[in-house]
Amino acid sequence: MEPIITPIQVRYQETDQMGVVYHANYLVWFEIGRTALIEHLGLSYAEMEQAGVVSPVTHVEIDYLKPIRYGQPAYVKTWLEHYDGLRTSYRYQVIDQEEQVAVSGRTDHVVVDRERFKPLSIRRKFPEWHQRYQQLLKGE
Amino acid sequence: MEPIITPIQVRYQETDQMGVVYHANYLVWFEIGRTALIEHLGLSYAEMEQAGVVSPVTHVEIDYLKPIRYGQPAYVKTWLEHYDGLRTSYRYQVIDQEEQVAVSGRTDHVVVDRERFKPLSIRRKFPEWHQRYQQLLKGE
Amino acid sequence: MEPIITPIQVRYQETDQMGVVYHANYLVWFEIGRTALIEHLGLSYAEMEQAGVVSPVTHVEIDYLKPIRYGQPAYVKTWLEHYDGLRTSYRYQVIDQEEQVAVSGRTDHVVVDRERFKPLSIRRKFPEWHQRYQQLLKGE
Amino acid sequence: MEPIITPIQVRYQETDQMGVVYHANYLVWFEIGRTALIEHLGLSYAEMEQAGVVSPVTHVEIDYLKPIRYGQPAYVKTWLEHYDGLRTSYRYQVIDQEEQVAVSGRTDHVVVDRERFKPLSIRRKFPEWHQRYQQLLKGE
């Protein structure tokens, strides 16, 4: 698949006194990229939650190569790395103004019921999501 | 009433590239002070929410007199300013290492049902809260 | 002046367990609106900081009328309320999907030197900013 | 070495609409644990920064096993995993009210000059830090 491209305007609030974007905030940027990918597939995470289901993160990995600063343009590239009906892995790259990879990362997710956080099968509970994610993996 | 004193250790994440605590974060510190005041009264906001009720902020005012920096001790003074069975107003002062007021503020709150945000009477819905807040206002 | 309109896509990270945008985050949205207004004038806050000058907030007021939820479109209207060569006041309205005012607020700012937070005259230190802000107030 | 234990009181602001602590916030809790470890060694990160040096994160990994909720006690266990004079790795576990590991993670750090983010030798630039970290690794 082609990565989804999402432009980011650095918020002053996202900086810290090192003068760069605080490292935890890239997880928020990853979320913006992930949301854009889901919308690109014609799906809605807000609707999934209205069905009493949430999709928590189970694992993250991030490599920080270069700092991003306030006032500099940046964008996130997001793509699907793995999907097996239960677990979903996304990959991300934050690209800086020199078109270099500043940050790269990965997040893994499951879907669970909101009340007890018991894992659910995406395949059975959300067949439309299942179909779109399988197509995406195959590059359709 | 005696103000409730809550020590704060500045988190690096709370700073911005100005080298000081980002202005929105004092609202989080006010929340820490408010939580401490509620616990001091022997009440639990978590239990209120379990009853399907939440207490959103309806108004805030903040004056910023001096910046607070990472590595400097600070504390929040919190007290009840107003309570009438429907609305509650708290006052706050953030005190810096020189015992000077760095930030002062006020937040107003109502209680509403979680689903539709319809206002509720604290007096009727939570008589124990009502009693404690009235005592607090009278300085008992 | 015509208010500056800035669309906002609610971030999941901006919600709290009340199921709505956490109240402190509207200050971040105000900042996004303020940044857009400054850019609209052809000015750059990042460049001001490179000159060793920062512009801290001295006062905020916010009224919360309706909650904003994840998945709902919103935008910020930002305009200049007051400017006198030393102090600048901005006004904001967050507009929800029903075109109603969900949140309204105001922030006051000064400019100071980064090291000691000593107030500076915008008029003298940044004559271009001074001119543009005066024009904006007069509706030019 | 014995892990450093740091109690955490969940802030309402740290929750999201899933009703649990938002996943990025554990990086902030890790930072609280790391700061406590550094203070335990008699060192001061604030002083390091005053010398024009900062210590950015180069890599993070986090595993999320159980959610943490508002109103529940938690604490962070922090220990040093690796130190070689240039790179430092810390390990963390967030322990929930049932004494179970809710979140575990690791962060890697270097030290760089604040202006250009060029790597520096901790051994040469901060010999006291070097000595204390070496002793810590050896369990002294």
Which tokens is C106 given?
């105001």
Q: Which residues pair with B62 in a beta bridge?
A: B105, C60
Residues of chain C where predicted confidence (pLDDT) is lower than 50 = none
Chain B residues with CB under 8 Å of D13 CB are 28, 31
Q: Do strands D57-64 and B112-113 pair parallel, antiparallel, or not at all (unpaired)?
A: unpaired
**Distance separating alpha carbons of residues A8 and B29, to the nearest angstrom:** 28
Based on C-alpha coordinates, what's the Rg of chain D?
Answer: 16
CB-CB: which of A13, A17, A20 is closest to B19?
A: A17
Q: Do A56 and D49 touch (CB under 8 A)?
A: no
Chain A residues with CB under 8 Å of C46 CB are 70-71
| Cβ-based burial of D15 (10 A; exposed 0-12, middle 13-18, buried ≥19) | buried
For the stretch A81-120, pLDDT in tens is 999 999 999 999 999 999 999 999 999 999 999 999 999 9
Angle in degrees, CA B9, B13, B19, rounded to 5:
85
Which tokens is C52 given?
């060793």
pLDDT at A140: 75
From residue A103, give the alpha-carbon distance in Å to each of A68, A95, D58.
Answer: 9, 7, 9
pLDDT at B80: 97
Strand ranges across the sheet with A53-54: A53-54, A111-113, A119-120
| Residue type present at position D39 | E
A55 interface with B at CB cutoff 8 Å: no
Q: B90, B80 in Cβ contact below 8 A?
A: yes
Q: Which residues pair with C4 in a beta bridge?
A: C78
Map residue D102 onto helix, strand or coil.
Answer: strand
Angle in degrees, CA A18, D95, D26, rounded to 5:
25
pLDDT at C139: 83
**E strand map for C21-100:** 53-54, 57-64, 73-83, 88-95
Select the residue from A12, A21, A25 to test the C interface by mutation, using most C Cβ atoms within 10 A.
A12
A100 interface with D at CB cutoff 8 Å: no
**Distance separating alpha carbons of residues A92 and A4, to the nearest angstrom:** 9
D16 part of the active site: yes
Q: Do strands A73-83 and B4-9 pair parallel, antiparallel, or not at all (unpaired)?
A: unpaired
Chain A residues with CB under 8 Å of D23 CB are 27, 56-57, 60
Chains contacting chain D through 3 or more C-beta pairs under 8 A = A, B, C
A70 interface with C at CB cutoff 8 Å: yes
CB pairs under 8 A between A and B: 28
**Distance separating alpha carbons of residues D79 and D40, to the nearest angstrom:** 11
Chain A residues with CB under 8 Å of C11 CB are 28, 31-32
Q: What is the CATH number of the domain that holds A132?
A: 3.10.129.10
Nearest CA in chain B to A19: B17
Chains contacting chain B through 3 or more C-beta pairs under 8 A = A, C, D
pLDDT at C140: 75
Q: D50, D56 in Cβ contact below 8 A?
A: no
Map residue A71 onto helix, strand or coil.
Answer: coil
Map residue C44 onto helix, strand or coil.
Answer: coil
Please give the distance of CA C104 from its chain centroid, rounded to a whole number. Answer: 12
Q: Do C19 and B114 touch (CB under 8 A)?
A: yes
Which tokens is A45 given?
């995470």
| Residue type present at position C109 | H
**Distance separating alpha carbons of residues C26 and C75, to the nearest angstrom:** 11
Please check the confidence at residue D1 and state whether its pLDDT lies above 80.
Answer: no
pLDDT at D6: 98
Map residue D137 onto helix, strand or coil.
Answer: helix
pLDDT at D39: 95
From first to last of its 140 residues, chain B has per-residue pLDDT tens of 799 999 999 999 999 999 999 999 999 999 999 999 999 999 999 999 999 999 999 999 999 999 999 999 999 999 999 999 999 999 999 999 999 999 999 999 999 999 999 999 999 999 999 999 999 999 87
Map residue A45 onto helix, strand or coil.
Answer: helix
Parent domain of C66: 4-137
Q: Do D13 and C19 touch (CB under 8 A)?
A: no
**Distance separating alpha carbons of residues B19 and C114, to the nearest angstrom:** 8
DSSP code string of D11-73? -GGGB-TTSSB-TTHHHHHHHHHHHHHHHHTT--HHHHHHTTEE--EEEEEEEE-S---TT-E
Please check the confidence at residue D55 and state whether its pLDDT lies above 90.
Answer: yes
pTM higher than 0.95: yes
For the stretch D108-128, pLDDT in tens is 999 999 999 999 999 999 999
pLDDT at B140: 75
Q: How many domains does chain A have?
A: 1
CB-CB: which of A54, A56, A67 is closest to D117?
A: A67
Residue D40 CB contacts under 8 Å (≥ 6 apart), including other chains:
D4
For range D62-90, the mean pLDDT: 97
pLDDT at C127: 95
Nearest CA in chain A to B11: A16
From residue C87, give the alpha-carbon distance in Å to each of C10, C62, D91.
Answer: 31, 19, 47
Which tokens is B61 given?
């005012």
Which tokens is B138 given?
């009278």
Tell which residue, D96, D70, D75, has the closest CA to residue D6. D75
DSSP code string of A117-136? --EE-HHHH-HHHHHHHHHH
For the stretch A19-67, pLDDT in tens is 999 999 999 999 999 999 999 999 999 999 999 999 999 999 999 999 9
- Write the ipTM: 0.96
pLDDT at D5: 98
Smallest Cα distance from D28 to chain B, Å: 7
From residue D48, give the alpha-carbon distance in Å to each of D54, D85, D122.
Answer: 7, 15, 11
Tell which residue, B23, B31, B32, B11, has the closest CA to residue B65. B23
C110 interface with B at CB cutoff 8 Å: no
Nearest CA in chain D to A113: D18
